[in-house]
Structure 1
Amino acid sequence: MAEQDATNAATAPQAATRIPKDSFMTVPADPRLETPQSATARLAWDGSGASAGEHIDYDCTAAHLDVRADTGALIGRMFSMTYVAVDDEGRADAARPVTFAYNGGPGCASVPINFGGIGPRRVRTDGVSHLAHPIVVEDNPCTLLCQTDLVFLDALGTGWSSVAEGADTSKIFGVDGDADAFARAISQWLEENGRWTSPVYLFGESYGTVRNAVLMRLLGERDVKLAGVTMLSAIFDWVQVQEGEDLYHLGMMPTMAAAAQFFGKAGQGVGEDEWFQRAMDWNEDVLAPALLRGDRLDPAREDEVARQMGEFIGLPAEHIRRARLRITLDDFRRNILADEGKVCGRLDMRFSADAPVAVQSSNAWFAGEDAADDAVESSWTSAFRRFLHDELGYRGPARYLSSNYERVGVNWKWTHEEPGKDGESFAPNVAYDIAVAMRRNPHMKLAILGGRYDAATTYWNVVHDMSCQFLSSELKGQVEWHLYGCGHMAYVDVPTLEAMSRDMEAFYKRA
């Protein structure tokens, strides 16, 4: 795995909650932090399928953006891949939207959303099967370049983005520090490219939606006016990732029901959308009050809820009863296909792989084993590297940190200064940042996209989080929701990619 208008200077109480402008460090810039020379090529995109006959000439640039503190001290250099449409004379249009896009992690680079999803080139996927050689790259008929110029950014410490020597990573690898670094990089790109009056959009996936939420507020406070924000596979309230928390189990239940139906274990003869909605409704009407009662729940009622839940998620009622109605994701992944000797995926539960042998019993290790990720990730990165080498002539280091969780994610500072609250929250809920940003900038559009098979960032939780912000009907009218038959990386699924492309076209055209 965006913001709002500049804040009125008179709002002193709000100002106290904002991230200090120079919160990173005061060490001087490090002259030894060297990066490759930037590279640019003039390329062409030709549409196919629904976009047949369309043609775009564009400049593609691989480069680094200096991320500097207000003192001028170098914090790091952020790698960027920029795609800018040009006219017949090679000129960019400053009135065209520009979208800053990224994945999440924390600790992941932006290749998946670029070469897997919305960039002008895309690796051809094969449903829910693992990709093999040859790796086929083609013009992406669903690229967002048709609507907007694109800038893909790698978070500091990932991809080829480097942290300056002497920089305090405890102020970079965290909710607020990460957003601060991205706000600085985005402002730097706008300055270098003279695009300050272009409509600015954000497109974040997974943890990138946490980043989006804080940026929605922070960029507005720094006078970068946002036109719109897209949240793909969103997560806002961090409590939901904690097993044992009611919000965790409520979020998982509809997603498990969707997976059970996909594997033929439940919901036969019912349409996918109807089945998922039934699960969402039962989740709130039946499971939620049962979980809230804990051991005060009547045993007979617990038996009945377990029976009904089993009909939704395809596991035996007694198994659910022993777990006190609290089935964890790993429990479900290990058991839903156990009779076939397989386990299902996490990012996209439709993917499956052979189960590990019994001695490989580590829960921490199993949580990171994911057929959905194994199926596509390396193919995306290989295609990206070849594109840079052969078509841009860009020579990056041999190691590209597509995922650097062991150095970035494990050291992440999860505290967050939520707007309007005193002190730091140790379990951030960035839905508050979204609401504040939208109240300050009521013209900003927000698109929330999710997949029913995504067990990493479950759809029910996002619906719940936003409903707890009590936005006015006018602000709710600025939010659009799209639920797809996909997992976390929506663009793996071609029908979803096509649907998402249509929805994004309408989103960018919307006044």
Structure 2
Amino acid sequence: MEYSAFAGYVPLFLDESRKIGEMFFVSYKKKVRQNEEKRPVSFILDGGPGASSIMLHMNFFGPRQVAGTEKGIDLPEMPYRFADNENTLLTHSDLVFIDPVGTGFSRPEEGVDPYKTFWGVKQDIDSICQFIQRYMAQNGLFGSPLYLVGQSYGGFRCGALASALQERGIQPKGIVLISPALSYEDLAALIPNDRPHVHNLPTMCNAAWYHKKLAPEFLGMDREELYQKAKSWAESEYLAALWKGNRLDEAERHSIAEKYSQFSGLRAEEILQNNLRVPIDYFASNLLREKSVFLGAYDARITSRGAIYDLNEDPSMFYAQVPAFSALMDHFSENLNFVESREYIYFNKLLYPAWDFQSGVNNPGNRGGGFACTVGELSKGLRRNPKVRLFVAMGNYDLRCSRASFEYSVNHLDIPKSQRDAITLKHYDGGHMLYTNPAVKKLFKTDLDLFYEG
């Protein structure tokens, strides 16, 4: 396939006279014949907040990729190999990989406070909207079908962009969400919010099944059948028990702990010690405690030596990020002839703790606070244009953004039933970055082929 590649910046402005920063991107355009119909363009975002687009760029969508391992559950051998990507999305769409301000090479203008200007839900969406609008104008793309692609918090961004772009006169044709987060209320297990515990249990069951920590009758079941059994119990008997809070009597507590143990592979005593609400980090630390290893929370198939789960040492992130970074740096110099003196920040650890999540709370006046959520914005975008299509890919072993949490969000979209039934929901045998599993990568690309072909 012949294509052109370009790395550059789009300036961002507070108004026409005041520049506030610049956003870095890498784009790929397939070479087309004269008078050929305009190709779709896909704007691609990762999450965090704090992540650049490197994972989606180098591990899946880009025309060049870093080679992984046979099963995608360990670190490739050095030196990292770099090759053409047969699964690139460039077959169906031109690609624009976006690095939000504070990631990649994107920076605020000197004297501009990024905490107030960029690092928050609303601020971030405003800057990305401006980027997309300016990029489309500069490249004559307003007649091209537009797709939004977002992973993790990038999915959260796409949920908001669905309607925010419409308000700027830009209409998305399709949205692809990968391991998305749309509602932080379904992810933040804070007292007295019990929903995340209900959502997490079925994925814990998947992990325990994979590592053979369940009873023989459960290990002999098909994984998806067992997942649905765990989900059904979590959404009924377990939810009802949590709803009672401290009114639950001891006999009920022990009964729930025993059943939770059967699905999770943990001991009933541990579940009781955690008041029937087992945190993800505890589960990742203790499922395989006898081997002195912990699970990756972003891909529970992957393990690492250590007694306690540590986010900074999560193997499911490290194994994917490091090779991708090396490949991208090589790609800049060898293929794009792009040289930049500043550091490329593939993940900015400063952003998440500093992020203004309250600007994304749909609560007039923010009285009483609340959780950031873009379910309402996505609903609005889909209602305004019923022709907008939605594809969602979820990993069976993703403990951070579990399948059940997003399925709950989809079930609460305020859209007609006909639109709900038209949403494509797919789950794959991978983690948060589900495409690091080579078998899944091919299957996922086949499903995306069908989606882009309509």
- What is the DSSP-based 3-state SS (H/G/I as helix, E as strand, rest coil) of the residue aligned with 2:2? strand
Find the residue that maps to 2:173 and give its secondary structure: strand
Q: How far, CA to CA, are the matches of 1:477 and 1:344 in structure 2? A: 35
TM-score by length of 1: 0.84
What letter is aligned with 2:199? G
Q: What are the equivalent positions in structure 2 for 1:187-226 lying under 5 Å apart?
A: 187-226=133-172
Distance 1:430 1:344 in 2: 30
SS of match in other structure, 2:294: strand
* Paired position in structure 2 for 1:166: 111
Q: How many Å apart are 1:92 and its aligned residue?
A: 9.1
Residues 18-37 of structure 1 aligned to structure 2 (within 5 Å): none
Matching residue of 2:281: 330
Structure 2 partner of 1:290: 241
Aligned partner (choices 33, 46, 52) of residue 103 of structure 1: 46
The aligned length equals 444
Task: Look up the match of 2:403.
Answer: 459
Secondary structure of the 1:289 match is helix
Q: Which residue of 2 aligns with 1:253?
A: 201
**For the Cα contact (< 8 Å) 1:417–1:423, is it kept in 2?**
no
Deviations 1:37-85 (A, max 9, x none): xxxxxxxxxxxxxxxxxxx210010111112233342121111110100
Aligned equivalent of 1:370, options 296, 303, 314 = 314
1:66 correspondence with 2:11: yes
Which secondary structure state, in structure 2, belongs to the residue aligned with residue 372 of structure 1?
A: helix
Does the Cα contact within 8 Å between 1:240 and 1:461 map onto a contact in 2? yes
Native 8 Å contact 1:86 1:92 kept in 2? no
- 8 Å contact 1:453–1:486 — kept in the other structure? yes
For 1:243, the equivalent position in structure 2 comes to 189
Task: Give the letter aligned to residue 166 of structure 1.
Answer: G
Aligned match of 1:75 in 20, 34, 40?
20
3-state secondary structure, aligned to 1:204: strand
| 8 Å contact kept, 1:418–1:432 | no
SS state of the match for residue 477, structure 1? Answer: helix
Would the aligned equivalents of 2:177 and 2:392 in 1 still touch at CA under 8 Å?
yes
Please tell me whether residue 347 in structure 1 is matched to residue 267 in structure 2. no
Q: Secondary structure at the match of 1:303?
A: helix
**Which whole-Å deviations, capped at 9, do the CAs of 1:385-441 have from their partners, x for residues lacking one?**
1011012211022521001122x222110013566x523454112111111111111
TM alignment of 1:116-195, pairs within 5 A: 116-126=59-69, 127=71, 128-169=73-114, 170-195=116-141
Instruction: Choose 166-175 or 99-108, whichever is displaced more.
Output: 166-175
1:216 & 1:96 partners in 2: Cα distance? Answer: 20
1:321 Cα shift?
A: 1.9
- Greater helix share, 1 or 2? 2
Instruction: Give the C-alpha shift of residue 346 in structure 1.
Output: 1.1
Per-residue deviation, 1:133: 0.5
Which residue number corresponds to residue 31 of structure 2? 86
Partner residue in 2 for 1:300: 251
Contact 1:85 1:92 in 2 (8 A): no
SS in 2 for 1:423: helix
Q: Which residue does the alignment assign to 1:409?
A: 352
1:391-430 superposed matches below 5 A = 391-397=335-341, 399-406=343-350, 408-416=351-359, 422-424=364-366, 426-430=370-374
Match of 2:450 in 1: 506
- State the alpha-carbon separation in 2 of the partners of residues 327 and 476 from structure 1: 32
Write the distance in 2 (CA, Å) between the matches of 1:350 and 1:490.
Answer: 11
Map of 1:478 onto structure 2:
422
Q: Deviation per CA, 1:5-25, whole angstroms, max 9, x where unpaired?
A: xxxxxxxxxxxxxxxxxxxxx
Alignment gaps of 5+ in structure 2:
none
Please tell me whether the aligned partners of residues 155 and 182 of structure 1 are also in contact (alpha carbons under 8 angstroms): yes
- The residue type paired with residue 348 of structure 1 is D
Aligned partners of 2:314 and 2:360: how far apart in 1? 33
The 1-side partners of 2:445 and 2:227 are apart by 23
Unaligned runs of 5+ residues in structure 1 are 1-55
- SS of aligned partner of 1:486: coil
**Displacement, 1:166?**
2.5
* Offset at residue 171 of structure 1 (A): 2.6
**Aligned mates of 1:285, 1:417 — CA distance in 2:** 31
**TM-aligned CA deviation for residue 292 of structure 1:** 0.8
Cα deviation digits, residues 67-124 of structure 1 (max 9, x gap): 2233342121111110100136xx6956211000011110110010010111111111
TM superposition shift of 1:155? 0.6
User: Counterpart in 2 of 1:489?
Assistant: 433
The CA distance in 2 between the partners of 1:92 and 1:119, in whole Å, is 25
Q: CA offset at residue 151 of structure 1?
A: 0.3
Contact 2:43-2:95 at 8 Å conserved across structures: yes
In structure 2, relative to structure 1, the CA distance for the partners of 1:272 and 1:432 (3 Å cut) is same
Counterpart residue identity of residue 86, structure 1? K
1:96–1:148 Cα contact (<8 Å) kept: yes
**AA of the residue aligned to 2:385:** N
Cα distance, 1:430–1:489 mapped onto 2, change above 3 Å:
same
Q: Please point out which of 207, 212, 224 is paired with 1:264.
A: 212
Using the alignment, how far apart are the partners of 1:87 and 1:443 within structure 2? 27
CA distance in 2, matches of 1:470, 1:62: 39
1:470 CA drift (Å): 4.1
> Which of 376, 381, 393 is matched with 1:432 structurally?
376
- Mapped contact 2:121–2:360 kept (Cα < 8 A): no
In 1, Cα distance between equivalents of 2:174 and 2:15: 27
> Within 2, Cα distance between the matches of 1:492 and 1:82?
22
Contact 2:292 2:305 in 1 (8 A): yes
Contact 1:444 1:478 in 2 (8 A): no
How far apart, in 1, do the equivalents of 2:359 and 2:450 lie? 34
> 1:309 and 2:248 equivalent?
no
Match for 2:365: what amino acid?
A: G
CA distances 1:474-510 after superposition (whole Å, capped 9, x unpaired): 2213311011111000110111111110111111111
